[in-house]
Amino acid sequence: MVFLLELLGTVAFAFSGCVVANAKRMDIFGVWVLGTVTAVGGGAVRDVLLGITPPSMFRNSVYVAAATATVALWLCMAARKGAVGRRLYQDLTRVMDVSDSLGLGIFAVTGSQTAIRSGYADNWFLVIFVGVMTGVGGGLLRDVMADMTPVIFRKRIYAIAAMAGSLVYVAFLQWIPEDWAMLAGTAAVFIIRMLASTRRWDLPVYVLEPREEDGDGPKGNGTEKKCK
């Protein structure tokens, strides 16, 4: 089941990488790199954090192959259709949002599972941290390579959703079978992300800015009182 979930997450993330590459008008090599990095980048970050070397993307080529196949399908569609209607483009953007949320949930849970199987079951902080980084790592690399402010820092409750899903997985693992705990954690991330997307939930932003000075006239000795 873990393999199937990771394969599904790989395809979902690869698709989201293709959409971002398309928006940045990258060439076919750029689309392949961005799609593949988005798909397997989180797993590579997970393995480095846990000291698993070389990362699984180099030991099991099926994930890179799945990402490459997804990119190839995207390129075939783009080459055949060229320009599409605004409504179809919006539909593709929504599909990317769904696929990105699904990939986030899957990788957040499988990342936590890998940390547990590596012998860190008693360290919940590490397990959840690894889960979050596995979920957001690919998207973070994607956005940096595409010269964008990473999504996790700017909108639609992203890393928080991954954290919640990892926590659900770890907590439920104490009471129910592992497969069901994984599904529960993935579902938690997906639901939170979809609600955040449809209801436009964002974390609050607080910005400290200099206040404009009142008036441009000459400054006195600081003893004058303002009249109201």
In a domain, 128, yes or no: yes
Q: Residue 72 to residues 4, 162, 172, 179, 197: CA-CA distances in angstroms?
A: 20, 28, 38, 31, 28
Per-residue tokens: 17: 């990488």
In a domain, 211, yes or no: no
In a domain, 141, yes or no: yes
- Answering whether pTM is above 0.75, one says yes
More confident residue, 221 or 120: 120
Residue 218's pLDDT is: 53
Q: Residue 56 to residues 6, 68, 115, 166: CA-CA distances in angstroms?
A: 12, 16, 14, 21
Which residue is it, tokens 């899903």?
165
* pLDDT greater than 80 at residue 33: yes
Nearest C-alpha neighbor of 157 from the set 91, 98, 101 = 101
Domain membership of residue 54 as a residue range: 2-198
Residue 7's pLDDT is: 84
In a domain, 216, yes or no: no
Q: What is the dihedral of CA 91, 95, 101, 105, to 10 degrees?
A: 160
* pLDDT greater than 90 at residue 131: yes
pLDDT, tens only, 48-84: 999 988 888 888 889 999 999 999 998 998 888 767 6
In a domain, 158, yes or no: yes
Nearest C-alpha neighbor of 38 from the set 158, 109, 119, 135 = 135
In a domain, 219, yes or no: no
Residue 97's pLDDT is: 78
* Count of structural domains within the chain: 1
In a domain, 172, yes or no: yes
Residue 115's pLDDT is: 94
Q: Are 3 and 93 in contact (CB under 8 A)?
A: no
* pLDDT greater than 80 at residue 214: no
In a domain, 161, yes or no: yes
